[in-house]
Structure 1
Amino acid sequence: MSETTEQRQQLKIYRASEAPGLVEKGCMQMQPMTEVQVSGLKRLVQSGYLEGDELKVLVDMPGFALTYAWLKKDYPLMRHSHDSDCMYYVIAGSLKLGTEELGAMDCFFVPAGVPYTYVPGADGVEVLEIRHKPAFDFVNLTHSENWWDKAEQTCAANREHWKNAHKPSSS
């Protein structure tokens, strides 16, 4: 029996407390960005963007990946796409995808290459991202200077709230 087959036939436990961050794990490859995007992202980080989310890679194995994402209230998620299909499962809180409001136990599927964004609800949103590829890209499709300006203001206005926010699942 091959090592891969043996590995797949063994029970394995993955603990959230031991899960690395998405950036730390290095499984999301940022694609090249325009000067406007680079400048905008730097401004967001300086104004508190990194306080607005929590991203953990819960499972990373051949053929299967599970990522936990908590996006806090008003978190400005840029329009983007990935090179792999992804099923999103809402654990708690809510989000708005286009004109649709999704809540706990709702799901949505985004095929590879399809641009999307969503807006976390009033309590934020916790989702599981389920993929068949552990590594994937991130193509930033937000080109408007106005979007970056507004997102920077949103981050600055929410920074302190985000530091002390509670997960929707803890309510």
Structure 2
Amino acid sequence: MAEESKFQIFKREGQFVFGEEAVMTTDPTPVQKAGLEKMLEEGVIDGSVYTMVANLPGFTLMHAWFKKDYPLPLHSHSADCLYYVVAGSARLGTEQIGPGDSFFVPANTPYTYHAGPEGVEVLEFRHTLEIDFQNYAKGQAFYDKAVQTVIENRDYWKAVPKPSEATAP
């Protein structure tokens, strides 16, 4: 029997940082695995924060914060994703996007975006929590550059506030 829909409120204290639960599957190549391990060793974990806001049958809402220069690889998900920019900015292809902008990525469509100088916060809407993550960054050059980017930004990443929480000068 299907779970009955009911009115629900999702409070901040009930949210959890994405990554604490095993929800993404991936099958990295040896180059990807070694590159990702080196990125983790150098502190890439401080460059982004994923927070699960709500997870219902057939409906998932996640908040993602990518900090300045976070090396997000070209990738795809096995589910459609709709994004809404809450704060900050990013470059998606040739387009600059900012607060109030949205973009839709169909399942299995490769994409990436680059956080602006203040970082970017997005809400991600999906119909499922569990997804297959396909990483298209296969060359050593991407990982060498990504590791260097992590090293150059890790101290900044540890201290910077979210764009939505930053105070105006």
TM-score by length of 2: 0.95
Counting only pairs closer than 5 Å after superposition, residues 66-81 of structure 1 correspond to structure 2 as: 66-81=61-76
Distance 2:152 2:18 in 1: 25
Q: Is the 8 A contact 1:25 1:57 kept in 2?
A: no
Distance 1:63 1:104 in 2: 26
Distance 1:17 1:95 in 2: 28
Alignment match, 1:146:
141
Counterpart residue identity of residue 3, structure 2: T
- For structure 2, list consecutive stretches of 5 or more residues without a partner in the other structure: none
- For residue 102 of structure 2, the aligned residue among 107, 125, 136 is 107
Aligned length: 166
Residue 84 (1) aligns with residue 79 (2) = yes
Seq. identity, %: 43
CA drift at 1:18:
2.3
Q: Is the 8 A contact 1:84 1:113 kept in 2?
A: yes
Alignment match, 1:22:
18
CA drift at 1:119:
0.2
CA drift at 1:3:
6.5
Most deviating of 105-114 and 132-141: 132-141
Distance 2:72 2:13 in 1: 25
Alignment match, 1:12:
8
Counting only pairs closer than 5 Å after superposition, residues 119-134 of structure 1 correspond to structure 2 as: 119-134=114-129
Q: Is the 8 A contact 1:74 1:122 kept in 2?
A: yes
Q: In the superposition, relative to structure 1, how do residues 3 and 85 fare at CA in structure 2: closer, same or farther (>3 Å)? A: closer
Distance 2:30 2:24 in 1: 20
Most deviating of 132-141 and 46-55: 132-141
- Point out the structure with the larger helix share: 1
Counterpart residue identity of residue 20, structure 1: F
Q: Is the 8 A contact 1:68 1:126 kept in 2?
A: yes
TM-score by length of 1: 0.94
